[in-house]
Structure 1
Amino acid sequence: MTRRSHVPPSPLPQLSGIDPVRLRLPPDPQEKWPTLGAYLTERYADTRGAESMARLLSAGRVVGPGGRVLRPQDAYEPGGWIFYHRDMPAEPPVPFPIGVVHRDRHLLVVDKPHFLATTPRGSHVFQTALARLRRELDLPTLSPAHRLDRMTAGLVMFSIRPEDRGAYQSLFQDRLVRKEYEALAVHDPAVELPRTVRSHIEKVRGVMAAGEVPGAEPNAESLVELTDVRDGLGRYRLTPHTGRTHQLRVHMNSLGLPILGDPVYPVVAEPADPTDHRRPLQLLARTLAFTDPVTGLVHHLESGLTLQAWDDRPGWETGPTLPTEPT
């Protein structure tokens, strides 16, 4: 059994809520890479990060344990650690607040607005719920218990203390959280509801849309219920019993009821202007119900957000409506 090497604490602080990169050097002998610069040049040779890493090294922004500044000519240290913050391009702001629904010493549950990613990924780093909450609430050890799609609004749970992180993440891994979503789509009286939709969903990395595999063993299950109808528009309650990527969006589309404002289903649209927030996906994580694994308290939390298309008024595309005060 291979023992996991000890990870030294980072000598660099968070930058706008983002942790520095921690990189362990391979344990290969020094003869393979006589200098740190030689190793990093080879590691990033075929990526767009090569020039960026060279700039970081020359500017003294790559450090070792204890904060010692590392230079390209420094000797390669097999199994050593280096730390640095990536150069990140400016990100268009997501101009909606994050509402606090519940907070105690251990747990934070918030209302994430549309267009805001839960955690850093790809081009969304500083404009994410995790980074913003760390900054705005001064909670540097905050970590997500689960994730919500960037295009979906509603309830997201975070662990405040590192020692509680595993307990809250296990709630979702063990399916001990009851989640209900609200969605708006056209009303088709020919679609018989309520209905439990089961299928095999696969999401290929780098491909925008997930797909259903006909005949394969189901790995995704959703209960779809119609709760109201107004002027040809349906309001639906969606209860996922599994957690596949884009599951609710895929299942609604398979019923011929694609969710209003969806840029992926049934057809992948051209990339939108990242500053255009006029047509949010009309999908909302409405409720979370669970027993807190740390405190033992039973929670039933409800989002304070609304889906604008249901209000039947011009301008619903401007984004989610948040309560004046946190719920």
Structure 2
Amino acid sequence: MNTRTTPLPLLDGVKPSYLVLPHDKSFYGLPLLYFLCVRFPFVDESHWRKRLDSGFVVGSDGMALNADTPFQPGQTVYYYREINREDEPRIPFDEKILHIDEHLIVVDKPHFLPVIPSGRFLRETLLTRLRLRPELQHLNVEHITPIHRLDKDTAGVMLLSHNPASRRDYQTMFQDKTVRKTYEAVAPTRTDLVYPHSVESRLVRGEKFYLTQEAAGEPNAFTVVELIENRGENSLYRLYPLTGKKHQLRVHMMNLGMPLMNDALYPTPLAVGDEDYEKPLQLLAKSIEFTDPINGHIRKFESGQQL
């Protein structure tokens, strides 16, 4: 469990980021400004100086740092990421809260919406949006944290924790693979396969860090594919991932000769920022079912979205 506490509050639903200064003797005795300019050369010195003198860059004790603060190895520096609002237009789809209890928030996530701040997305993420939702303000919204992954391009059911005391119990379900996840997808029709069709392969990181590819070796990814409805050229499928590798369903379906409709990564990655909101990836996390680790009840949550 991440128990790190930060001396800076949420700002517009965004938690501060942090950087632990390295034990690098070449910076000893020099200003923090010098280290930042060397560590992040793509940001000019005037910008760093302005940020450091803003009062919004602090140490673990909450005291503001400035351009003349000496570099201290091992010190943790807290700050807010900066993204120009004009460079982060609103994603025109809304999440729907399905359930709230003393441990969990269950959400039906739309396509295109990232779960956590990363890269060019800061405010337009599920996590930031939820921290600003009026109906969640009775909770300690700073503690809202996703307990499993869901790709930006994939829509559907997402579980988040807001209770640090029980978070580990729910995370362990996913680590132990005791959660039954069901997906739906639209892809080219294959009637020559016998359904349900089992797929197993070894998935590894692709040549580009954001991709996954199959490789020789012992299988580490397993998927079951069912045909729900033959729609002619394309069909509706139900997918059961028995493991949780990155992009597992997208890669397994592609390598069956059935790439998912509107996939911006497989088989050919599109340029970043080329999202077409009229063509969402046809992959939906339809349901999640599990035995609640707190009360032992069988629980199932289902997306209201359709492909």
With normalisation by structure 1, the TM-score equals: 0.83
Equivalences, count:
298
Residues 1:209 and 2:205 aligned together: no
User: What per-residue deviation string (whole Å, max 9, x for no partner) do you get for residues 69-122 of structure 1?
Assistant: 211212334433322112212211111111112210101111000000111111
Contact 1:208–1:264 (Cα < 8 Å) also in 2: no
Residues 1:70 and 2:65 aligned together: yes
Moved more, 219-228 or 192-201: 192-201
Residue 280 (structure 2) aligns with: 280
Equivalent-residue separation in structure 1 for 2:192 and 2:60 (angstroms): 65
Residue 11 (structure 2) aligns with: 15
Matches within 5 A, 1:1-327: 9-26=5-22, 32-44=28-40, 46-48=41-43, 52-90=47-85, 91-136=88-133, 137-138=136-137, 139-204=141-206, 206-213=208-215, 215-274=216-275, 276-307=276-307
Task: State the shift of 1:188 in Å.
Answer: 2.1
Amino acid at match of 1:126: R
Task: State the shift of 1:233 in Å.
Answer: 2.7
User: What per-residue deviation string (whole Å, max 9, x for no partner) do you get for residues 176-227 of structure 1?
Assistant: 10001001112122233221100111123744432111x3111111000101
Amino acid at match of 2:295: T
Moved more, 117-126 or 263-272: 263-272
**3-state SS of the aligned residue for 2:143?**
coil
Amino acid at match of 2:13: G
Equivalent-residue separation in structure 2 for 1:20 and 1:113 (angstroms): 25
Contact 2:28–2:71 (Cα < 8 Å) also in 1: no
Could you tell me the percent identity over the aligned residues?
A: 40
With normalisation by structure 2, the TM-score equals: 0.89
Amino acid at match of 1:88: I
Task: State the shift of 1:277 in Å.
Answer: 0.6
1:208–1:25 distance in 2 versus 1, CA, 3 Å: closer
In structure 2, list runs of 5 or more residues that go unmatched.
none
**3-state SS of the aligned residue for 1:286?**
strand
1:141–1:194 distance in 2 versus 1, CA, 3 Å: same
Equivalent-residue separation in structure 2 for 1:247 and 1:105 (angstroms): 32
Equivalent-residue separation in structure 2 for 1:293 and 1:263 (angstroms): 37
Contact 1:153–1:285 (Cα < 8 Å) also in 2: yes
**3-state SS of the aligned residue for 2:156?**
strand
Amino acid at match of 2:101: D
Equivalent-residue separation in structure 1 for 2:59 and 2:151 (angstroms): 35
Contact 1:222–1:240 (Cα < 8 Å) also in 2: yes
Moved more, 76-85 or 96-105: 76-85
Contact 1:30–1:77 (Cα < 8 Å) also in 2: no
Equivalent-residue separation in structure 2 for 1:202 and 1:67 (angstroms): 42
1:306–1:51 distance in 2 versus 1, CA, 3 Å: farther
Q: CA RMSD in A?
A: 2.3
Amino acid at match of 1:280: P
Task: State the shift of 1:52 in Å.
Answer: 4.1
